[in-house]
Amino acid sequence: MADLKVRHGVPISLDWCRLEQSLPPWLWSALADCARRQGQAVYLTGGAVRDLLLGGRPVDIDITVPVAARWWAKELAASIGGTCIILGREEEAARVVRGEWIIDISSFRQGTRTIEEELTRRDLTVNALAVRIDPLLGSLAEQAGNKQAVPVLDPTGGLTDLADQRIRAVAADTFTVDPLRLLRVFRFAATLGFTIDDHTLTLVHRQRRLLRTVAPERVTHELHLLMVSPGSHSFWTGMASTGVLEEIFPELTAGTGMEQPKSHHLDVFAHSLEALRQVERILVDPVSFFPGCSPAIFAYLDIDRNRLRLKWAALLHDLGKPETRAVDTLRGSRITFHNHDRVGAQLFRSIAHRLRWSRDDTEHVASLISWHMRPFHLANVARTHPLTLRAAIRMIKKCGVELPGLFLLAMADALAGQGVERVKGMETELIELYRHLEQVRLTHVEPVRSNPPLLTGKDLINVLHLCPGPLFKKILIAVEEGRMEGTVRDYNDALRLAAKYAAGAGQPVGKGI
C-alpha cells in the first residue's frame, strides 16, 4: 500500500498530475462543460479517491454535486456518447456508462448541505473521502504543470483507517440506513485485504436481521463480489461469527457442530469453509495440483464466471448432509450421508431461486454439487479394478464441459478432509484418474464428436422402418458410445447395433439387416 503519511491535523492531498492520469481526457472535458453551465462545486468521492490513495487506477468513478445530479448525468451522457441510467427513488442519483467506464453521479444525500456532512452519511470510513475538482476543470494542464495539489476531505477518519488497513462503519446508524451495508463490510474487507474493526463487527451482529429487508438481487450481487475476491473464505468465517451467514444461508450453517465420519477432521460446516479455502489455494496455481493437465484446466478456468461458480460449489457442496445424516448401527454406528450430493443440489436450487440467481449460474453450480462425489466413486472402483473404457466415456459424457471443474472441486474436497481414516494418497488418485479421463476424451470422445454421426433419425425411419419415439435417442446414444469404444466402426456396424436395440425393445426392423 502507498505510504499515506497520516499526521494529526495535516491534510492528505492528491496532486493534479495523479488526478489527470486517473480519468480519460474526454471525461474531464465533459465535466468542465457541465460545471461551466451549472456553476456549482464538483467532487470526486468514495472509492475513486480511496483507490487513488492506494496507488490504483479507478474504473468506477463517483462524482458528487450539491444538487441536480440527474441533470448532470443526462448532460454528461449526451456529451460523451454514453448511456444514462437513473438510480434510486429516495435520493437523486444516476449512472453514466461508456465502454468500461462507469460514472455514478449523486447529489448531496439525506438533506445534507455540505460535502463534509454528506460524507458522514456514507457506509465505511474508507469510502467517505472526497477531493474537490471543479477548480481544476478547464485548466488541467496548467494546474498539473504547477504541481498543485488538492486536499483530501476526510471528516470520518478514513485516511487513518486506510493507513491501518481497517474497515470501520462511519456511524452507529450506518446499517439501518441501508442494511445491504452489512454485507459490504465483508466485501470491502475481502477486496482490499483489510481487517474489520471490532466495534463494526459488534454492530453487524446486533443488526444482522435487517438483511431480511433487502431485495434478494442486491444480496446476490454483493455476495458475488465478495466471492470473487482472493482469500474470501476468511470473511465467510467472519460472516458466520456475526450471524450474518445464518440470515442468508441457514441451510449451510445447519452443519455447524455436525460430526462426520473419521475420514474428516472437521464438522460439516467447517469442512465447507475449508473446501472453499482449498479451492482458492488451487486457483492460485492449478498446475501444481494437477501436473500435466493444464491445457484443459486453464481452458475451463478462462471461461467467464467459472472461477466464481467453482468457489460457490466448494462452499455449498455439502448442503445436503444435515438432511441426509444417519447412523448405521450395523456397521459400528458409522455416520452416513447417503445421496447428500443429490439432495444438496436440490437445496441449492431452492436457495438460488430465493436469491434470484441467474439460471445459467444456478445450473452450473447445481451440476457441480450434484456430481461432486463421482470422482471419488470412480476412484474407489479404479483402486481395485482397471477402469473400463465404457465407464470413462460415460463419465466424460455425463459431466461434459464441467469435468475439469469437477476434479478441481474434488481435489479441494479431498484436501479439506484430513481425518485419521481418510484414504491415503487420494489426491494422487484424483490426479491420475483425471489424467486418464483427459486422455480418453482426447483419443476416443472428441474425434467422434468432431465428425458427423454415422446414423441419424432418418436412417432409423427410412432403413430400419422404425417409428419415431424415445427409443431413437437411446439408439443414437448407444451408436455414438459404441463408436467411441471402437465396437462400431462404420455405417453397417451402426445399423446392426440399432437393429439389435430395436429388437430388444420389441420393435420390428426392415429386412436385410
89 pLDDT more than 90: no
What is the CB neighbour count within 10 angstroms for residue 8?
5
139 pLDDT more than 90: no
Q: Are 160 and 6 in contact (CB under 8 A)?
A: yes
143 pLDDT more than 70: no
pLDDT of residue 231: 86
pLDDT in tens, 360-409: 999 999 999 999 999 999 999 999 888 999 999 999 999 999 999 999 99
Q: pLDDT confidence of 23, banded at 50, 70, 90?
A: confident
* CA distance linking residue 497 with residue 457, whole number of Å: 14
Domain 165-248 has CATH 1.10.110.30: yes
pLDDT in tens, 264-309: 999 999 999 999 999 999 999 999 999 988 899 999 999 989 999 9
6 pLDDT more than 80: no
pLDDT in tens, 414-459: 999 999 989 999 999 999 999 999 999 999 999 999 999 999 999 9
Mean pLDDT, the chain, rounded, equals: 91
* CA distance linking residue 140 with residue 127, whole number of Å: 25
Q: pLDDT confidence of 8, banded at 50, 70, 90?
A: very low
What CATH class has 1-164?
Answer: alpha beta
Fold of 257-449: Hypothetical protein af1432 (1.10.3210)
7 pLDDT more than 50: no
pTM: 0.90
**Cα Rg, the chain, nearest whole Å:** 29
Distances (CA, A) of 201 to 121, 191, 235: 19, 17, 12
C-alpha cell at 492: 453397417
- The residue among 317, 278, 300 whose CA lies nearest residue 438 is 300
* CA distance linking residue 83 with residue 73, whole number of Å: 9
C-alpha cell at 140: 488541467
Provide the percentage of residues in the chain whose pLDDT is more than 70: 95
Query: Where do the domains of the chain lie?
Result: 1-164, 165-248, 257-449, 457-504
* CA distance linking residue 38 with residue 31, whole number of Å: 10
C-alpha cell at 373: 462425489
pLDDT in tens, 333-365: 889 999 999 999 999 999 999 999 999 999 999
